[in-house]
Amino acid sequence: MNRNIVVETIDQTPIERQNVEIVERKGVGHPDSVADGLAESVSRALCRMYLEKYDRILHHNTDETQVVGGQSAPVFGGGAILEPVYILLVGRATTEVNGERLPYRTVALKAAYEYIKNNFKHIDPDWDITLDCKIGQGSIDLRQLYETRKKLANDTSFGVSFAPLSETEMIVLESEKYINGKLKESLPEVGKDIKVMACREKDEIRLTVAAAMISSLIKDKDHYMSAVNELRDKVSDFSAKFTERNVIVDVNTGDNPDKELFYLTVSGLSMENGDDGSVGRGNRANGLITPFRPMSMEASAGKNPVTHVGKIYNILSCQIASEIAKAGKGDILEARVRMLAQIGRRIDLPQVASIQLIYADGVKPSKYDAEVRQIVDERLENIDKITMQIINNEISVF
């Protein structure tokens, strides 16, 4: 099959040789990530319902979920949530088939409830959160296009990614996962709302970590400061595994102990006290926000995993870029992938798949040209595999 795959060599300074680099990751408890996670969990639940009843996934997009912050009063040793967080599930779905109405709202609300319950143990989804669902019927034109010829793109959109990750990017990605993972075993005082920002200037990397601390687990100011200092030290030790560069870690720089100002929360989530969240305002499909790299502004979470190229192409671009970088074995310093689809055209036949490569000095591009084209061609040929990987939660989209 003749696919429009354009492979070119570009003469640019790779990110590791540039003087400045900025990288960000919003953890699972950040309000924007909460919105992403809810939208994606609702989409997966709708997919399972459609598959169970009709043996195929019907049209839906749930990528407009909104999180509206509540009000809380944290104090050392306790505190309370005064006004619940309001969460609005928004989007479109197939709500009726051949006259049979589907329980799509019940499925969506249950999926959102379970996501909150399973991921955020310090907030009560029954009392501290108000869940609302305004998912409605989709556009008849898009729905017919989707349901009758499901391998046709239901949007004109593009996907973007790159590989390999730089040291700074790897540190940011893995540090957040560490804080919200293994570190909790020794520091349960740290909540789920974590943001990690890195600024590298030449060979110095400064990490700024914002960590919502759980008030009921911290008895006083001294305990708080001790926990923050321990968090800083552990992240410093952890990040040193990824680089020979000098890494400096700052934690909760907005604190002012003299004025009794601390990043203290009841639930470990800033959305309890005024912080709002929206789908698509956080991490890209590779889990990072990278202003020094090519990025798509498209939200991936919540979009249908069959024909919405705003989701599929971003995920596929990540996979292709990583495979190309791995095949390059150090000869390919950077692989940049951009794929554009046109509404109504087959998703495995993009308008263009643009592959830009930065090679190490002395490497002849012709050495990898055919292999790179083969990687792209095979990934597009097997694009359907992504759908079940998404439904089975084997792929993270934020």
pLDDT per position as a tens digit, 376-396: 999 999 999 999 999 999 999
Residue in 3, 36, 27, 12 with CA at minimum distance from that of residue 277: 36
Per-residue DSSP letter, 363: -
Under DSSP, the state recorded for 397 is -
Q: What distance in Å separates the CA atoms of residue 206 and residue 309, rounded to the nearest whole number?
A: 36
Residues 160 and 299 in one domain: yes
Count: domains in the chain: 3
174 plus 261 within the same structural domain:
yes
The β-bridge partners of 201 are 20, 204
Chain position carrying tokens 């990614």: 161
Q: Alpha carbon of 54 to those of 49, 138, 179: distances in Å?
A: 8, 18, 41
Q: Same domain, yes or no, for 160 and 291?
A: yes
Interior/surface letters 28-54, b for 16+ CB within 10 angstroms, e for the rest:
bbbbbbbbbbbbbbbbbbbbebbeeee
Task: Give the per-residue pLDDT at 140.
Answer: 47
| pLDDT, position 137 | 83
Residues 139 and 39 in one domain: yes
Tokens 């088939």 -> residue: 97
396 in a structural domain: no
Provide the CB-side half-sphere exposure for 159 (13 A, CA): 30
Query: Which residue has tokens 């974590």?
Result: 194
Coil, helix or strand for 128?
Answer: coil
Q: Which residue has the tokens 């390919």?
A: 332
Instruction: Give residue 154's pLDDT.
Output: 86
pLDDT of residue 383: 95
pLDDT at residue 147, rounded to an integer: 57
The C-alpha atoms of residue 303 and residue 305 are separated, in whole angstroms, by 6
Asked whether residue 398 is assigned to any structural domain, the reply reads no
Residue 204's pLDDT is what? 98
Same domain, 289 and 259: no
Q: What is the pLDDT of residue 144?
A: 60
Residue 390, pLDDT score: 94
Query: Which residue ranges in the chain fall short of pLDDT 50?
Result: 140, 148
- Do 304 and 162 fall into the same domain? yes
CA gap 292, 85 in Å, rounded? 34
Same domain, 115 and 144: yes
- Cβ atoms of 353 and 373 within 8 Å: the answer is no
Structural domain boundaries enclosing 74: 31-148
Same domain, 199 and 343: no
Whether 22 and 366 have beta carbons less than 8 Å apart is answered as no
Query: How many helices and strands in the chain, by DSSP H and E?
Result: 8, 20
